[in-house]
């Protein structure tokens, strides 16, 4: 374990961008975990007297049309957005990589059927598909997670399948069979751990994408509903005021969204270097 | 023109995360016009780095920190990038180890040869094509007109290497550097490729540097030899003196470890002992004699056949027996079906037809998919060719060895499992402190030992070995072969030894099955090597390069009339 750590330190020392990205993600996690203690104001408390104030010393990011502190709302929103993204990605990763690994290892008719189903899912415009799912299932955080996970599934199935396809002919897979492992056990104990480094990169990129997706759904009024602080809703509500010159209502949630996605994307590549055991010596 | 190549105190350093690594620690050598120099040594000795330094093709992390490489009067270490481009190909060219990887897969080979010509001379596409055709003829490719438009995947490995040679000599260089040009090719193909190289260099009065780990090959084709170890040249001399009278201990060890047509496993045992003293591991116990019970048959193969589609027959009607505790060698060139036979016997793939009778039970009838759950899985184990690829990169050495014990002997984590793993590791010559390491932290020889330990941990009765030493250096090969031989005596295991190296098979096996194009060509005892009945077996035996003090070197063949265009 200490060798993993020292290896990570070595990779990060030579890679400033990854270090910054990981630090950024770390900060987001802190915000999400300790939001109630970090917010300077109550994110839900309205104060109409101080509505639509531009950024100032008291309200660093300004206030919205109901006088709520935008910074506080941004911090609290981190929690919800990360939960949605993480749950969706974990769900689609777990199901997708399992299905994909089996298809890649077993091949044959199972592989062909699953492959065609995946092709059909990918033929839909994925965001529209997610919208339709939330509309049908009902407006709730849980349904946003399910919809986002579902539209991510094809990515994981295809990715795991391709990775396993490369690895299934390695000597250690045959060695595992000679050691008495069944197909199930070869897939779960041998192949899945070995495709993890590549999958982790995918997870990181996917987290950013899932956040945009969740925010996009809320922006359209699906899923999370006001007054719950969420970046997508904040952008949607603020959009009405931008023509009046009250830019801070949209700019700060938008910026938070952009930086978060950027952090996850940049973290991906660095993670690959850290996780690949062959790069350690 | 005077003076070929002269290297003076060359030092190359690679910068890595663990600090600088000296790859070459000051080597000096001279190569005259028309000479062939063999550079031999084991992996990590710096022989390839020397080649890359001469052509200045080192990776960016490698730097020439000292020394001069003078070629035709100019110092290569000081040439500019554009001068280097003119030099590469036109006066010095290189042939690489894996010809298939060195050729562009989506470009016809005629065009690739023409590219090499047009990079250095201003000719039209038509003229270049005509020249490419001439070159294909001179590397003796059959039906050269048709081959001009062929793609690399349509050619065999040996053909690809000939195309590489054609590209390398396209601009009539004076120096050819061949970096393991025949590693991975069959012995018979190796012989034709090397003979071709020798002929071309002689015809064109080119000098050649042949980099190889195979002492026999160097002996047969080189005038002079340098032996490298750890980035230094430890011995140099004519081929004759190096082989008949090696001075440096490292050279002696190399010469002793290289299997020859007459060496025995006991010869190798001596090499292995000398190496093992440094490990201070298991002292060699008194050799237990083989106990082959007469008549008791462990495995009967009857009419074994593997068809891949209606018209591709990989294995065709193969029958042979393996006695209890006996060792049978399965030899043949690539494509002969020997690996397919071994995988069917190990029950990793299904036979199309025929019987595999193990201990009077037809295990060929049990589908490969469920074979993991029958009792015979314990009795038949495998050792794989590539020690790198056959160990799960996420398992420690302990887990690798414990895996079959957990699955097939249902041992749970605990004292008993730890004891068994430790005992097995010790038998395979692995020290206790290696058990917590991961495969990428081991040397090639250690990985091979882990592969063997994993296979013998559950005491199988039949061990199927698929080219177990093909990827190892000769000195490590000697140790591993010796280890296998000892384990076989101790456990009374039967071996099915699959190999393309007839010298190794001769030492390890009592019986030999020679396969060709999916069929058994010849079966015989070890006397087969002295007196093969089939011409195919004879051609295989003849193709093995070795040092013959009385024989003529290929290079010394009468020179054909000078090639002129």
What is the Cα–Cα distance from A280 to B18, expressed in whole angstroms? 11
Q: What is the pLDDT of residue B560?
A: 37
Residue B2: pLDDT band (50, 70, 90) is: very low
Boundaries of domain holding B406: 297-543
Interface contact A194-B394, CB threshold 8 A? yes
* DSSP code, position B411: P
Q: Is residue B284 scored above 60 in pLDDT?
A: no
Rg (CA), chain B: 25
Check residue A40 and give left, alpha or beta (phi > 0: left; psi -120 to 50: alpha): alpha
Domain assignment present for B219:
no
Quickly list DSSP for B355-407: EEEETTEEGGGS-GGGGGGSTHHHHEEEE-S-TTTTS-TTS-HHHHHHHHHHH
β-pair partners for B37:
B209, B224
Provide φ and ψ at B27, rounded to 5°.
-115, 150
Interface contact B384-A171, CB threshold 8 A? yes
Interface contact A280-B404, CB threshold 8 A? no
Bigger pLDDT: A226 vs B301: B301
Interface ipTM:
0.78
Q: Which of B552, B554, B522 is nearest to B538 (CA)?
A: B522
- How many domains would you assign to chain B? 1
Q: Is residue B462 scored above 60 in pLDDT?
A: yes
Q: What is the pLDDT of residue A276?
A: 67
Q: What is the pLDDT of residue A33?
A: 92
Cis omega (within 30 of 0) for bond into B400: no
Which residues on chain A are in Cβ contact (under 8 Å) with B394?
A: 193-194, 277
Q: What is the pLDDT of residue A2?
A: 60
Q: Please give the distance of CA B16 from its chain centroid, rounded to a whole number.
A: 28
Which residues on chain A are in Cβ contact (under 8 Å) with B451?
A: 175
Domain assignment present for B59:
no
Interface contact B346-A175, CB threshold 8 A? no
Q: Which of B8, B170, B180 is nearest to B91 (CA)?
A: B170
Q: Is residue A133 scored above 60 in pLDDT?
A: yes
* Nearest Cα residue in chain B from A192: B394
pLDDT digits (tens, 9 = 90+) for A158-205: 999 999 998 888 889 989 999 989 989 999 999 998 898 888 888 988
Taking a C-beta distance cutoff of 8 angstroms, is the pair B334, B537 a contact? no
Residue A3: pLDDT band (50, 70, 90) is: low
| C-beta neighbour count of B21 within 10 angstroms | 13
Which residues on chain A are in Cβ contact (under 8 Å) with B440?
A: 277-278, 280-281
User: Where are the alpha helices (H) located in B365-515, listed in sequence order?
Assistant: 376-379, 397-408, 415-427, 444-456, 474-491, 502-508
What is the Cα–Cα distance from B40 to B253, expressed in whole angstroms? 13
Domain assignment present for B63:
no
| Tokens found for residue B176 | 């050819």
Q: Is residue A1 scored above 60 in pLDDT?
A: no
Q: Is residue B425 scored above 90 in pLDDT?
A: yes
* Nearest Cα residue in chain B from A174: B348
pLDDT digits (tens, 9 = 90+) for B154-213: 888 888 888 999 999 888 898 999 998 888 788 888 888 899 899 989 988 899 999 998
Q: What is the pLDDT of residue B321?
A: 93
User: Where are the alpha helices (H) located in B215-336, listed in sequence order?
Assistant: 215-221, 239-244, 249-257, 265-279
Interface contact A277-B454, CB threshold 8 A? no
Which residues on chain B are in Cβ contact (under 8 Å) with A174?
A: 343, 348, 382, 384, 390
Residue B42: pLDDT band (50, 70, 90) is: confident
Report the CATH number at residue B437. Answer: 3.40.50.300
Residue A17: pLDDT band (50, 70, 90) is: confident
Summarize the confidence of residues B500-520 as an average pLDDT: 89
* Nearest Cα residue in chain A from B391: A172
pLDDT digits (tens, 9 = 90+) for B309-344: 777 888 999 999 999 989 999 998 888 889 899 999
Q: What is the pLDDT of residue A224?
A: 80
Which residues on chain A are in Cβ contact (under 8 Å) with B386?
A: 171
Residue A242: pLDDT band (50, 70, 90) is: confident
Percent of chain B with pLDDT over 90: 35
The alpha carbon of residue B409 is apart from the nearest alpha carbon of chain A, in Å, by 10
What is the Cα–Cα distance from B443 to A49, expressed in whole angstroms? 74
Summarize the confidence of residues A100-111 as an average pLDDT: 91
Quickly list DSSP for B522-541: EEEEGGGGTS-SSHHHHHHH
The structural domains of chain A, ordered by start, are: 2-46+61-279 (1.10.3720.10)
Which residues on chain A are in Cβ contact (under 8 Å) with B380?
A: 178
Interface contact B389-A171, CB threshold 8 A? yes
Interface contact B390-A277, CB threshold 8 A? no
How much of chain A is in helix, strand and coil states, percent to nearest 5?
A: 80, 0, 20
Domain assignment present for B463:
yes
Q: Is residue A30 scored above 50 in pLDDT?
A: yes
Percent of chain B with pLDDT over 70: 92
Bigger pLDDT: A13 vs B368: B368
Query: B500: number of CA atoms within 13 Å, CB side?
Result: 20
Number of H helices, E strands in chain B: 20, 20
Q: Is residue B286 scored above 70 in pLDDT?
A: no
Interface contact B372-A182, CB threshold 8 A? yes
Interface contact A281-B17, CB threshold 8 A? yes
**Cα–Cα–Cα angle for B462, B465, B468, nearest 5°?**
150
β-pair partners for B22:
B13
* DSSP code, position A241: T
Most confident of B3-7, B112-116, B183-187, B284-288: B112-116
Q: Is residue B280 scored above 70 in pLDDT?
A: no
Which residues on chain A are in Cβ contact (under 8 Å) with B393?
A: 172, 194, 277-278
β-pair partners for B125:
none
Domain assignment present for B334:
yes
Q: What is the pLDDT of residue A150?
A: 93
Interface contact B373-A170, CB threshold 8 A? no
| C-beta neighbour count of B291 within 10 angstroms | 9
């Amino acid at each position: 374990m200490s060798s993993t750590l020292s290896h990570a330190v070595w990779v990060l020392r030579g890679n400033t961008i990854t270090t910054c990205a990981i630090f950024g993600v770390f900060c987001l996690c802190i915000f999400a975990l300790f939001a109630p203690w970090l917010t300077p104001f109550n994110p839900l408390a309205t104060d109409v007297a101080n509505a639509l104030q531009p950024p100032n010393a008291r309200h660093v990011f300004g206030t919205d049309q109901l006088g709520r502190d935008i910074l506080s709302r941004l911090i609290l929103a981190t929690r919800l957005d990360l939960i949605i993204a993480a749950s969706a990605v974990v769900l689609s990763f777990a199901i997708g990589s399992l299905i994909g690994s089996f298809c890649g290892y077993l091949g044959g008719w199972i592989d062909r059927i699953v492959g065609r189903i995946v092709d059909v899912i990918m033929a839909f415009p994925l965001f529209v598909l997610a919208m339709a799912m939330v509309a049908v299932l009902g407006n709730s955080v849980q349904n946003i997670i399910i919809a986002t996970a579902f539209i991510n599934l094809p990515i994981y199935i295809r990715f795991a399948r391709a990775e396993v396809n490369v690895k299934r002919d390695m000597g250690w897979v045959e060695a595992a069979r000679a050691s008495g492992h069944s197909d199930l056990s070869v897939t779960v104990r041998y192949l899945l751990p070995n495709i993890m480094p590549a999958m982790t990169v995918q997870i990181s990129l996917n987290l950013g994408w899932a956040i945009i997706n969740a925010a996009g759904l809320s922006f359209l009024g699906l899923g999370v509903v006001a007054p719950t602080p969420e970046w997508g809703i904040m952008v949607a509500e603020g959009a009405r005021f931008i023509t009046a010159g009250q830019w801070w209502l949209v700019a700060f949630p938008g910026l938070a969204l952009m930086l978060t996605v950027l952090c996850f994307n940049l973290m991906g590549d660095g993670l690959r270097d850290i996780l690949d055991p062959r790069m350690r010596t | 023109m005077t003076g070929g190549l002269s290297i003076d105190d060359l030092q190359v350093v690679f910068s890595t995360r663990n600090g600088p690594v000296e790859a070459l620690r000051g080597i000096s050598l001279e190569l005259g016009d028309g000479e062939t120099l063999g550079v031999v040594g084991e992996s990590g000795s710096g022989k390839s780095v020397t080649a890359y330094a001469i052509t200045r093709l080192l990776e960016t992390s490698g730097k020439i920190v000292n020394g001069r490489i003078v070629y035709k009067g100019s110092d290569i270490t000081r040439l500019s990038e554009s001068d280097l481009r003119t030099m590469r190909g036109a006066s010095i060219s290189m042939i690489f180890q894996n010809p298939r990887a060195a050729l562009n897969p989506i470009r016809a080979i005629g065009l690739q040869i023409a590219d090499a010509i047009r990079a250095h001379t201003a000719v039209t596409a038509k003229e270049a094509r005509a020249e490419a055709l001439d070159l294909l003829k001179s590397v003796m490719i059959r039906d050269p007109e048709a081959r001009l438009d062929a793609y690399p995947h349509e050619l065999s490995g040996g053909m690809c290497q000939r195309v590489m040679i054609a590209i390398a000599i396209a601009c009539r260089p004076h120096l050819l550097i061949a970096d393991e040009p025949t590693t991975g090719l069959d012995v018979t193909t190796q012989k034709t490729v090397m003979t071709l190289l020798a002929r071309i260099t002689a015809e064109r009065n080119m000098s050649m540097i042949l980099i190889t780990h195979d002492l026999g090959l160097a002996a047969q084709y080189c005038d002079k030899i340098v032996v490298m170890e750890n980035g230094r040249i430890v011995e140099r001399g004519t081929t004759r003196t190096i082989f008949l009278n090696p001075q440096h201990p490292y050279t002696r060890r190399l010469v002793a470890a290289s299997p020859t047509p007459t060496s025995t496993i006991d010869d190798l045992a001596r090499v292995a002992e000398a190496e093992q003293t440094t490990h201070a591991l298991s002292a060699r116990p008194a050799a237990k004699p083989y106990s082959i019970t007469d008549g008791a048959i462990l495995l009967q193969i009857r009419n074994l056949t593997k068809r891949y589609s209606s018209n591709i027959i990989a294995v065709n009607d193969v029958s042979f027996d393996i006695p209890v505790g006996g060792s049978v060698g399965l030899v043949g060139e690539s494509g002969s079906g020997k690996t397919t036979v071994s995988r069917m016997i190990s029950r990793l793939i299904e036979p199309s037809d025929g019987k595999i009778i193990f201990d009077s039970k037809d295990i060929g009838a049990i589908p490969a998919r469920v074979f993991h759950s029958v009792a015979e899985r314990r009795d038949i184990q495998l050792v794989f060719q590539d020690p790198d690829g056959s160990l799960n990169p996420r398992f420690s050495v302990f887990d690798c060895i414990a895996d079959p014990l957990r699955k097939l002997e249902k041992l749970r984590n605990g004292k008993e499992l730890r004891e068994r793993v430790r005992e097995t590791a010790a038998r395979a010559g692995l020290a206790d402190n290696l058990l917590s390491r991961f495969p990428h932290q081991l040397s090639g020889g250690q990985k091979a030992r882990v592969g063997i330990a994993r296979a013998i941990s559950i005491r199988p009765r039949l061990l199927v070995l698929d080219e177990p030493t093909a990827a190892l250096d000769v000195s490590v090969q000697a140790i591993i072969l010796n280890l296998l031989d000892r384990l076989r005596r101790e456990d009374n295991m039967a071996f099915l030894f699959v190999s393309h190296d007839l010298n190794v098979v001769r030492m390890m096996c009592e019986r030999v099955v020679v396969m060709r194009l999916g069929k058994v060509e010849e079966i015989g005892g070890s006397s087969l090597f002295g007196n093969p009945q089939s011409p195919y077996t004879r051609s295989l035996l003849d193709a093995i390069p070795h040092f013959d003090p009385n024989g003529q070197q290929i290079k010394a063949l009468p020179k054909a009339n000078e090639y002129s265009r």
